[in-house]
Structure 1
Amino acid sequence: MAVVQANQVLEDQSQIESGSFGTFVGVYDGHGGPDVARYVCDNLFRNLQAISAENYGVVTPETIRNAFLLTENGFTALVSESFNARPSIATAKVGNTGGVAAIQLSSEHNANLEEVRHELKTLHPNDPDIVALKHGVWRVKGIIQVSRSIGDVYMKHAEYNTEQIAQKFRLPEATAMPILSATPSIITHDIQPNDCFLIFASDGLWEHSSNEEAVEIVHSNPRSGIAKRLVKAALQEAARNEIF
């Protein structure tokens, strides 16, 4: 596991939990502050454990969805308690060669992807501005790129879209329904005998490394320190792009 701090305050969190139930890996990509990522790191797995215990320890897609919803509701309650003293909490959030084939196990919930924009337009048919192109980047309501998140409550509950939050986050009009969703997309992959490893990372890696490049690095090097090696490769690529 490796982390590079890109902002003044480290907004991202990660965790690995392992036991008789299997292995739980979380990479929480925060923006607008560290609050949600820290809250999710502290509560999502606990909620998953509690809910699965009610089902004799069995984890199903419904168990996972309920754990996300319970975590979302818990953080929204925290926002309700803290909003007047810390309105910024309402704008915080937490959104996979050499003979080895790379299989992407998840997709981004990012408005730059056409399928995500289509999903948003389908869910909000009466809002022509649900996505907007700003400075060459598609954003939800012209503000943020993610379409699903825990947090970002100002985009879900009108009472937090007030003059108390920063102007750059404020929506120009009240919304009839939540703009973002905390419902996760769930993909199941049956582990095969030839499967070698998994790479869990936020977009800080994938913006500068293709699936194939990341898999080749892991496949061709010792596992010890491999997370740092992936981060170093991404930083080197980012530096090259900045120069050229």
Structure 2
Amino acid sequence: MDENGPGGMPEEVIRQAFFNTDEEFLLSVEREWQTNPKIVSVGSCCLDGILCNGMLHVANDLNVNDGSFREDLIPLFQNDPNIVGFKQNIWRVRGLVHISRSIGDAYLKRFDFSRSPLPAKFIQS
């Protein structure tokens, strides 16, 4: 989609909506994770529909089987050489999840959530 895609919906509007939703969720995680540590492992794939000027725009999460999406993650996580890897015959983010963009999954997005009191099976080293 170009800057103003079909129906006049700017791509940036959709991107910002997903970003804002995830940021709000991460703020909730910050407030709750000491008393509810498993909240950092909660996440969701997203499917979003927006009706604008009579045109339905649909956006969903991407997975790392697509090489361009794997390549997008590398500069975002330069200090993490294991950000993407091939495990159990599928590309995964940090060897765990197939989806590269989601709402939540704070322990995969921020290392400060990847520590105690989080259960050990989720802690990234």
Number of residues paired by the alignment?
A: 106
The one of 20, 25, 29 aligned to 1:70: 20
Match of 2:98 in 1: 145
Label 1:63 to 1:118 Cα distance change in 2 as closer, same or farther (>3 A).
Answer: closer
The one of 65, 77, 93 aligned to 2:43: 93
Q: CA deviation at 1:106?
A: 6.2
Aligned partners of 2:43, 2:67: CA distance in 1, in Å? Answer: 22
Answer yes or no: is the 8 Å Cα contact 2:115–2:123 preserved in 1. Answer: yes
Match of 1:155 in 2: 108
Label 1:159 to 1:106 Cα distance change in 2 as closer, same or farther (>3 A).
Answer: closer
Answer yes or no: is the 8 Å Cα contact 1:90–1:152 preserved in 2. Answer: yes
- Give unpaired runs (5+ residues) of structure 1: 1-57, 96-104, 173-244
Label 1:110 to 1:157 Cα distance change in 2 as closer, same or farther (>3 A).
Answer: same
Q: For residue 147 of structure 1, give the secondary structure of its aligned residue in structure 2.
A: coil
Answer yes or no: is the 8 Å Cα contact 2:94–2:108 preserved in 1. Answer: no
Deviations along 1:197-216, whole A, 9 cap, x unmatched? xxxxxxxxxxxxxxxxxxxx
Which structure has more strand as a fraction of its residues? Answer: 2
Answer yes or no: is the 8 Å Cα contact 2:61–2:102 preserved in 1. Answer: no
Label 1:73 to 1:107 Cα distance change in 2 as closer, same or farther (>3 A).
Answer: closer
Superposition pairs for residues 77-116 of structure 1, below 5 Å?
A: 77-95=27-45, 109-116=62-69
Q: For residue 65 of structure 1, give the secondary structure of its aligned residue in structure 2.
A: helix
Give % identity.
33
- Give unpaired runs (5+ residues) of structure 2: 1-7, 46-57
Answer yes or no: is the 8 Å Cα contact 1:132–1:140 preserved in 2. Answer: yes
Q: TM-score, normalised by structure 1?
A: 0.38
Aligned partners of 1:120, 1:158: CA distance in 2, in Å? Answer: 15
Aligned partners of 2:59, 2:28: CA distance in 1, in Å? Answer: 29
The one of 84, 87, 101 aligned to 1:131: 84
Choose 1 or 2 for highest CA Rg: 1
Q: TM-score, normalised by structure 2?
A: 0.67
Aligned partners of 2:59, 2:32: CA distance in 1, in Å? Answer: 33
Q: CA deviation at 1:126?
A: 5.2
Label 1:60 to 1:90 Cα distance change in 2 as closer, same or farther (>3 A).
Answer: same
Match of 2:3 in 1: none
